[in-house]
Structure 1
Amino acid sequence: MTPQARRDDLIAAALDLFSSRAPELVTVDDIVSRADVSRPLFYRYFSSLRELQIEALRTVTDGLIDGLAHLDDGPPLDRLRAAVRGLISVAGNYRAGYIALLRGGSVIATSETDAVVDQVRDRAVELILEAIEIDEPTPLLLLTLRCWTAVVEGTLLAWLQEGKLPREGLDEWLVDQLVAMMAVTQARLATTP
């Protein structure tokens, strides 16, 4: 196995474990057991468990960004629903990692992981602006879009943690939220001098 393939294998083992346990509960021993490698081999590729946790979480955010980047052709709302379905899928596949990434009290939350999350948020806002063909958004529109990304994150966290929201229709409901928020913003902009 090439060094990059071995490194990717260790990350995959960690992500597999994160699907059922919070990252801060996964140990080096758990990862080496899952990847069927020795502890010394683990430390050959990662200087610490924290480094692996951050790389694994970066894999999750890269998946989120990739999901946002590959939007279907078609009307803006259809494209946005497809993007939200992609986010839901990635969040569901990496449940514990996604929760840890967004949960403020996580042991692995760092300025670096916060910056990675901000990249996903910024990309989501960029894509919405592209879809509605606005090059220079007003501050109120930008605030609306950033608030909506918080709604999406909160909804996905509730869906993953509580298990009470059905997955079916979640994308449509979230896009409907954006449409409603943008209508209120548009009305405010129309009445504000």
Structure 2
Amino acid sequence: MAPEQRRMQLIEAAIGLYGTRPYEQVSIDDIAAAADVSRALFYRYFSSPAEIYVAALRHAADSLIARFAAPADGSLLEQLRSLIGEFISFAEGHAAAFVALLRGGSVVATAETGAVVDDVRRHAVAEILARTGVEHPSPLGLLTLNCWTAVVEGTTLTWLQERTLPREDLENWLVDQLLAMVTATANYDKETAKVLHQVVRPL
């Protein structure tokens, strides 16, 4: 197996484990066993558990970002629901690691992992702006979207831990939250709100 293939094999094995257990509960031996390689071979590609975790998170985040950018049919509102669905699917697929990372205070939270999460946030906001045709958002318009992404993260984090709401209801509620925030922004930022209100038209 080529070195890059072997490295990816280890990353995929790690992603599978991080999807069911917190970072602190996944050892090098666990990853090596899941990838069916020796511990010594693991160290040919990664120097520590922290290094492979960052690589696994980066790979998973890149996959999510690629799904954000995939062509979507339907109205802007339907596309927004699709973006939310992709994010929640990602969070569910990496539930234990996602909870540990966003909860804060975990040993898994570092400057590197924070940078990966910030990258996902930036791409999510950029994708919404691109689909609404906004090339130069105003400060208040950008603040609206950044605040909404924080709502999505925090709500998804709570939902993963409690599961007291059907997923479909969660997705619809998050869409409604953005519409409410855009409506509030319209009172102060007419031009940006006018473009963002394209999302509201289907209603």
* Alignment TM class, shorter chain as reference: over 0.9
Aligned runs of 1:10-159 on 2, under 5 Å? 10-159=10-159
CA offsets 1:9-59 (integer angstroms, 9 cap, x no match): 111111111122101221111111222211101001111111101111112
Secondary structure in structure 1 of the residue aligned to 2:168: coil
1:74 CA displacement: 2.7
Number of residues of Structure 1 aligned to a counterpart in Structure 2: 190
**How far off is 1:165 after superposition?**
2.4
Moved over 4 A (4+): none
Moved more, 58-67 or 143-152: 58-67
Percent of matched pairs sharing the same residue: 54
Displacement of 1:189 after TM fit? 2.7
Which residue number corresponds to residue 6 of structure 2?
6
TM-score, reference length from structure 1:
0.92
Contact 1:63–1:90, Cα closer than 8 Å, also in 2: no
Gaps of 5+ in 2: 191-203
Residue 71 (structure 1) shift: 4.0
- Structure 1, unmatched stretches of 5+, are none
- 1:105-151 CA-to-partner distances (Å, cap 9, x unmatched) read 12121111111111111111111112222222111111110000000
Cα 1:67–1:169, aligned 2, differ >3 Å: closer, same or farther?
farther
Question: What TM-score, normalized to structure 2?
Answer: 0.88
Output the amino acid matched with 1:32.
A
| Alpha carbons 1:57, 1:101 under 8 Å: kept | no
Deviations 1:79-109 (A, max 9, x none): 1111111111111111122223323212121
CA distance in 2, matches of 1:71, 1:184: 29
> Deviation per CA, 1:139-190, whole angstroms, max 9, x where unpaired?
1111110000000001111111222222123222211110110001112335
DSSP-derived class of the 2:187 partner = helix
Letter in 2 for 1:172: N
Give the partner amino acid of 1:136: H
Task: Give distance in 2, aligned partners of 1:126 and 1:92.
Answer: 23
RMSD value over aligned CA atoms?
A: 1.4
